[in-house]
Structure 1
Amino acid sequence: MNTRTQTTDFTPVDPDLYAAAFQLLDPGPQPAAPEAPSAPAPVPSSPATPLPVHRPGPVEKTLSDALAFLDTHGWARHSLIHPEGARCSVGALRAAAGARNAAYRDAGNLLLDEARRQHGKKWQTIPHWNDSHTGAQVRSVWESAIHRAHHLNI
């Protein structure tokens, strides 16, 4: 079937009308309007990034464990191991290290170096230094040595 519509009241389409309609649908780049001052943009919500966890090096761990041993079992002078369980600084280092390994040696060297920094260069060994000072002085040296090991990341 072939049908023709013949309408006499048909209005021709304005070609600019289509152009205007397509411009509304896809405006393309527009000139930027001046921004009005506003509050700072909100920070996008994201999962909190965990802080890095510090893992002590073997020297720091040995020194920290030895000081914890002294805190738990007691500090002694003139004896590696007191009959009641207290230990001198070398005894605490041995208990913490478990063996005379590199961490034991390096922790002892750092402890003696810190003792010399705080109490003079005359100390040749940890036992002589340990036996000549008070518990508070010895603890101060331990804490400083741990602090140095932490910052040296050893």
Structure 2
Amino acid sequence: MNTRTKTDFTPLDPDLYAAAFQLLDPTPQPVTPEAPSAPAPVPSRPAITLPAHQPGPVEKTLSDALAFLDAHGWARHSLIHPEGARCSIGALRAAAGSRNAAYRDAGNLLLDEARRQHGKKWQTIPHWNDSHTGAQVRSVWEAAIHRARHLSI
């Protein structure tokens, strides 16, 4: 085995490192071992508060109409049932208060969502409302509210 013991390294002056460190940090602080202490407190940042969601007029109309259906009941084949339940159009009218832009846009979004879930053949909300179960109608309402929120309308 051929192991070389002589190296071709140039010997360095041991004081060279001390001089270099003195140039980098002219007043070094002595390092003294300290007793372990409690970790320094982390400065707290103020809590980030997200702005409260402000529903747009279409989302509000749809949400209020669904709340109306939940409170008073859902009906088929009648705008207003004698016991107070309403069909989808009746709930929209109750929530909007009048046939304003929010009422019109909410109705269009509701019908569009009904067509997405149940086919393109539905021409009016009452026709679609009367041809489906309460669970199917609710599913469309919830999807329409979700879309209105997503679109910020």
- TM over 0.5, yes or no? yes
Q: Which residue of 1 aligns with 2:113?
A: 114
* Pair 134,51 (structure 1): closer, same or farther in 2 beyond 3 Å: same
Percent identity, aligned pairs only, is: 88
CA deviation map 1:117-152 (0-9, x unaligned): 000000000000000000000000000000000000
* Pair 133,45 (structure 1): closer, same or farther in 2 beyond 3 Å: same
* Pair 46,124 (structure 1): closer, same or farther in 2 beyond 3 Å: same
Task: Give the deviation of 1:67 after TM superposition.
Answer: 0.1
Across the two proteins, how many residue pairs are aligned to each other?
Answer: 120
Q: Which residue of 1 aligns with 2:13?
A: none
Task: Give the deviation of 1:42 after TM superposition.
Answer: 5.7
Q: Which residue of 1 aligns with 2:18?
A: none
Task: Give the deviation of 1:52 after TM superposition.
Answer: 1.7
Taking the aligned partners of 2:86 and 2:136, their CA distance within structure 1 comes to: 16
Q: Which residue of 2 aligns with 1:64?
A: 63
Which consecutive residues of structure 2, in runs of 5 or more, have no partner in the other structure? 1-23, 29-38
Q: Which residue of 2 aligns with 1:145?
A: 144
CA deviation map 1:56-99 (0-9, x unaligned): 00000000000000000000000000000000000000000000
Taking the aligned partners of 1:32 and 1:152, their CA distance within structure 2 comes to: 63
Which of structures 1 and 2 has the bigger CA Rg? 1
CA deviation map 1:11-56 (0-9, x unaligned): xxxxxxxxxxxxxxxxxx95798xxxxxx98642133121221100
Give SS of 1:118's match. helix
TM-score (norm 1): 0.73
Which consecutive residues of structure 1, in runs of 5 or more, have no partner in the other structure? 1-28, 34-39
Matched, 1:124 2:123: yes
| CA RMSD across the alignment | 2.1
Regions of 4+ moved over 6 Å = none
* Pair 140,46 (structure 1): closer, same or farther in 2 beyond 3 Å: same
TM-score (norm 2): 0.73
